[in-house]
């Protein structure tokens, strides 16, 4: 105890004893927090308007690409850059320089990944889905089923 999770730890301990579960209080706190944020976003017109601004919409568009690329990028380029500048300046300044010098190319790479790989994969998946659904209709029609019978 003695952490910011203490109130929820006490609460989950009581629940765990009552229903014989082993709920992790920290996971529960994070889950409830995420649910409250989503609820607030769904209910608040002001928050919806703010998150509808172009920069936030763009971040939403590249977020998956950013998620896929960031780990490898930060552990290669950023780590290399940090290892070169840390010997010449303080740790905090080296971190700040590495952070700033990493964010620009990371966002550029994420943009192009989203544009050429992610969206290309989505287009391909739609073509495959369309082809498979048209084959399904043809199979049903050739089996003697009228398409109007399938929708009824």
Angle at 57 between CA 52 and CA 58, to 5 degrees: 155
Structure tokens at 86: 């840390």
Question: For the chain, what is the mean pLDDT?
Answer: 88
Residue whose pair of structure tokens reads 């608040």 in the numeric block: 44
* 102 touches 81 (CB < 8 A): yes
Residue 22 confidence (pLDDT):
82
Confirm if 23 and 16 have CB atoms less than 8 A apart.
yes
**Tens-digit pLDDT profile for residues 65-94:** 999 999 999 999 999 999 999 999 999 999
- Of the candidates 152, 73, 56, the one whose C-alpha atom is nearest the C-alpha of residue 112 is 73
What percent of the chain clears pLDDT 90, i.e. is strictly above it? 64
Lowest-confidence pick of 7-11, 41-45, 137-141 = 137-141
Rounded distance between C-alpha atoms, residue 94 and residue 72, angstroms: 20
Tokens of 32: 């409830």
Q: Token pair for residue 22?
A: 């082993």
Residue with more model confidence, 17 or 33: 33
> What's the average model confidence in pLDDT over 118-140?
87
The 10 Å Cβ neighbour count of residue 25 is 19
Least confident of 21-35, 61-75, 134-148: 134-148
More confident residue, 7 or 104: 104
User: Which residues lie closer than 8 Å to 8 by C-beta, 6 or more apart?
Assistant: 25, 26, 28, 29
Residue 106 to residue 62: CA distance in whole angstroms:
11
Give the integer Cα–Cα distance in Å for 63 and 42: 20
DSSP SS3 for 71: helix
Could you tell me the two tokens for 152? 């009824």
């Amino acid at each position: 105890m003695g952490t910011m999770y203490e109130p929820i730890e006490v609460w989950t301990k009581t629940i765990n004893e009552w229903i014989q579960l082993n709920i992790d209080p920290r996971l529960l706190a994070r889950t409830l927090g995420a649910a409250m944020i989503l609820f607030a976003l769904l209910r608040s017109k002001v928050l919806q308007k703010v998150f509808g601004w172009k920069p936030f919409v763009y971040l939403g568009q590249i977020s998956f690409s950013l998620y896929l690329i960031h780990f490898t990028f930060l552990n290669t380029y950023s780590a290399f850059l940090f290892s070169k500048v840390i010997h010449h300046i303080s740790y905090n300044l080296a971190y700040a320089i590495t952070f700033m010098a990493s964010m620009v190319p990371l966002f550029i790479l994420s943009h192009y990944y989203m544009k050429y790989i992610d969206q290309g994969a989505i287009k391909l998946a739609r073509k495959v889905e369309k082809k498979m659904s048209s084959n399904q209709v043809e199979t049903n029609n050739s089996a003697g089923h009228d398409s109007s019978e399938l929708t009824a």
